Every structure is written in C-alpha cells, then in structure tokens.
Amino acid sequence: MFPGPLGASLSGDALARGVWSLETKNIRDHGHGKHRAVDDTPAGGGPGMVLRCDVLAAALDASVASDDARPRLLMSPRGKPLTQARARELAAGPGAIIVCGRFEGVDERVIEARALEEISIGDYVLSGGEIAAMVLLDSCVRLLTGVMGKDESGAEESFEGGLLEYPHYTRPREWEGRQIPDALLSGDHARIARWRREEAQKLTRARRPDLLPKT
C-alpha cells in the first residue's frame, strides 16, 4: 500500500530527494505457523479477529531499538484526534513509528507494554490503519522544509491560529456575475488582512464553532 499517494506530487518529489524517508515492515514476518497467523479470536467471544500481542510486539522489537526516541503511534478510531498542532509537533520531531491496526483491533496488552499512543483521524471506522497512516504522514511531510514551494504556504491555512481558512479568489475578476471582493483588490494590505481575518472568523463560527474559544 505504501508509499501510495505519498509517492506522488510534492510528497513524492520530496521522498525522491531524500527530504523524508519511509520504511515499511510486515508484521506477518513474525506470525505463527506455516500461514504466519497474526490474529486470533477475541477473549470473551464476539465477532472479528484481534491482532496478537506477541506478534505485534515481536515486529516492533525487531524493528525499533529500546532507546529509540521516536513516538510509537497506533492508528485507532478510539485515539486522540489528529490536529494541525500535533502534526506540527511530529514534523518537528525525530520521526515516528506508526502501527496500522487491522481486523477487530489490537490486543490491549501490547498497547500498554510498548507504550503505543493511539491517534484517530476522525469519528468513523476504516478497514485498516494504512489509509489513516497516510493521512498522518501527509499532514506532517508537507510541513517539512523543502517540501512546499514556500514555507509560508503552511502558515495561513485552516486550523493555523485556531480558525478555518479564509476564502480564496483568482482571475477572472468577474465570473457568472460573482465579483472578487473589493477589499482584495484595494492594494491596502491592512484592509486585506482585516478582511481575511473577519472571513475566517465568520466561516469558523458557521461551520466549526467548536474551534472558537469558549466564553
């Protein structure tokens, strides 16, 4: 599955240039029996299968030194929501070890024993953690120096400063009776900045009031 979309466009170019790197490990290499089993039925009964703690721990231990400073992340719908602030923290750090769950979930004991930090990309369930890991990686990689054309490109976006991003416009000046707002054509930088701030606040209030400070 990897690098998948991370091998295209800006992230793919940066990967080819060595701005960032990606190494994948298959936990089935540490599976049991001739079929390399990595899962088993849930203790206590119920549907689905659960990733075994011994298999996942063996895969982690074979890949990661005990003194590795990188955070160990598990993509999970019950984890803390991924935020732009967390993406910035990870992008500024030494990298990350990302575990992609499958099936019904992961044995709780390996989460505790290997100090896995659970991270969610939203209130929904995917077939596995691979797509979620790609989302996490993309949110971090684009913030690395040398990935985007200008570092400022990442400074004025949704969730930076706690607001959704203001609306954007470009040519033509008029399209289907709709005009570019006068403030953006004024050449007055203070007026433009004020308009953008007001529009960002307006959009956030209408669409994501949860992002605004509680009063």
What pLDDT does 15 receive?
98
E strand or H helix that includes residue 27 = none
Q: Identify the three-state secondary structure at position 135.
A: helix
- The residue-averaged pLDDT of 127-144 equals 97
CATH topology classification for 4-141: Alpha/beta knot (3.40.1280)
What pLDDT does 4 receive?
97
* Cis status, amide bond into 172, omega within 30 of 0: yes
pTM: 0.90
| Superfamily of segment(s) 156-211 | tRNA(m1g37)methyltransferase, domain 2 (1.10.1270.20)
The segment(s) of the chain belonging to CATH 1.10.1270.20 are 156-211
The segment(s) of the chain belonging to CATH 3.40.1280.10 are 4-141
E strand or H helix that includes residue 105 = strand 105-106
84-93 tens-digit pLDDT? 999 999 999 9
33 has a pLDDT exceeding 60: yes
What pLDDT does 152 receive?
55
* High-pLDDT (> 90) share of the chain, %: 89
Q: What is the mean pLDDT of the chain?
A: 94
152-197 tens-digit pLDDT? 565 667 787 889 999 999 999 999 999 999 999 999 999 999 999 9
52 has a pLDDT exceeding 60: yes
